[in-house]
Amino acid sequence: MLLTGPPSLQLPPVRGLRTLSPDALIDCIEYLRVLYSPGVRGSKIRARARSNSSSESTTPFSITVPPRLPDPESDTIAALRSDEFERSYTLRWLSYLVNNSQNLLGTPSEVDYVVARAAALLANCGGASCTGVISRTLHFPTERGPISVTVQDIPLENGDISSVGAQTWGGACVLSEIIAAHPADFGLVNNRSSPLTVLELGAGTGLAGLVLASAAKLMHIGGVTVVATDFYPSVLENLAANISTAFPASDPAVSISSHFLDWATFALDMDPLPAPLDQPFDVILGADIIYEPEHAAWIQSVVSRLLAPGTSSQFHLVIPLRKTHALESSSVEHVFRVNASDEDPTAPVVTVLGKERIVCDVEENAGDEVEYLYYRIGWSRQIQEPVG
């Protein structure tokens, strides 16, 4: 259903809901979700440009973006979203749908799915949205079909910037889109000779790790373990809830879990490491995780200790190019430069292997754009100049 009018005119009358198919009802709910769930700023990749000085080539980027509903932040939608009459109408419509599920068409599982989606949106449009809680479903195309992941954002806790991870940031969407487009670059191949272990740093809502786990499930790749980490209590609680929503039952082939990890403590060479951090990881993910100058140094300590040895293991990092965060951005290439050890010049170090500049459309303002840097970081025994 395209968003062409207000809910009071666009939605079918409640008395006719019992005649609609489950797909038609989901279309209605999706229309309302787009209307009342703001988009993520700078989260639609438009172009990628590889640095000429990158020491490795990457798979050429090609992705087909599925048709989208109109920009959720257009003036028309913003006006509808602020209309209290239309919001009240939407709440009554959703409430009727949820409370009269016994009269809906479809199999029990289809009806349960429709009601679950409607109930989640009802909470989002009603009391939850007033406290800043947003439930959003993001879609990522892959060669095997689309991946859809639902995550919940929660507001800052008492204004504490440390709880900012409970929001879905554009960098997480960008990294997720890259994972979905090129799963092999993240170890998701059918001919793996060993299980794949993945660590997400500063996972926040867990989007990137959830997309990787979903891609593994879609590709029928077994033996994949994803450990999503953060340190702020409310962020960890929300992260665990998002994981439980996306993977409600244990899956012997794909495992994803949330765990506490404080980079500052880790940088002090915490020993011994607690499970499941007491093992090396083949892939490490990080998106929008550097917003203080010291973060890059802490993350370098974590990656140096937890990235599995070997040239196939990599840390994938996406950071925004913000004028106000120039120092934080430059700190990445400073701490991940190739530096020979004084004791052993041939000792492996973690260094930037590849760098790309990514341009994204800003959903809030058509025509505007946001830029990101995408780093691939791994082990190197060669003495090279830093990537420029």
List of domains in the chain: 1-37+72-130 (no CATH), 44-56+132-380 (3.40.50.150)
pLDDT of residue 196 exceeding 90, the answer is: yes
Helices 233-246, 207-218: crossing angle, 10 deg rounding: 20
**For residue 50, what are the contacts with CB-CB under 8 A and spacing of at least 6?**
57, 58, 354, 355, 356
Q: Is a pLDDT exceeding 60 seen at residue 20?
A: yes
Task: Look at residue 15 in the predicted model and tell me its pLDDT.
Answer: 79
Rounded Cα distance between 124 and 132, Å, is 9
- Report, as an integer, the average pLDDT of 36-65: 50
The pLDDT value given to residue 214: 96
User: What count of other Cβ atoms lies within 10 Å of the Cβ of residue 372?
Assistant: 23
Burial class (CB in 10 A: 0-12, 13-18, 19+), 320: buried
pLDDT at 308: 95
What are 63's strand-pairing partners? Answer: none
Mean pLDDT lowest among 51-65, 125-139, 301-315: 51-65
Residue 4 has pLDDT above 70, yes or no: no
Which of 337 and 267 is assigned the larger pLDDT? Answer: 337
Q: How many CB atoms lie within 10 A of CB 165?
A: 25
Residue that wins the pLDDT comparison between 240 and 270: 240
Q: Which of 62-71, 240-249, 267-276 is the least confident region?
A: 62-71
- What are 134's two structure tokens? 């947003």
55 pLDDT above the threshold of 50: no
Beta-carbon contacts of 280 under 8 Å, excluding residues fewer than 6 positions away, are 197, 306, 307, 308, 309, 313
Q: What is the mean pLDDT of the chain?
A: 78
pTM value is: 0.71
pLDDT (tens digit, 9 = 90+) per residue, 316-374?
Answer: 999 987 665 566 678 888 898 755 454 566 678 899 999 998 888 655 444 456 788 99
Rg of the chain, C-alpha, whole Å: 22
The span from the CA of 348 to the CA of 363, in Å, is 42
Average pLDDT over residues 87-96: 80
**Residues with Cβ < 8 Å from 57, sequence gap 6 or more?**
50, 354
Query: Token digits for 61?
Result: 């980027």
Structure confidence at residue 70 as a pLDDT band (50, 70, 90): very low
Name the one residue in this structure whose structure tokens are 């990294």.
175
Q: How much is the pLDDT for 43?
A: 53
Assign 315 to helix, strand or coil. strand
Cβ atoms of residues 210 and 149 within 8 Å: yes
For residues 273 and 228, the model is more confident at 228
For the ranges 82-91, 195-204, 265-274, 341-350, the lowest mean pLDDT is seen at 341-350
Supply the pLDDT for residue 382: 45
Residues 6+ apart with CB under 8 A from 164: 156, 291
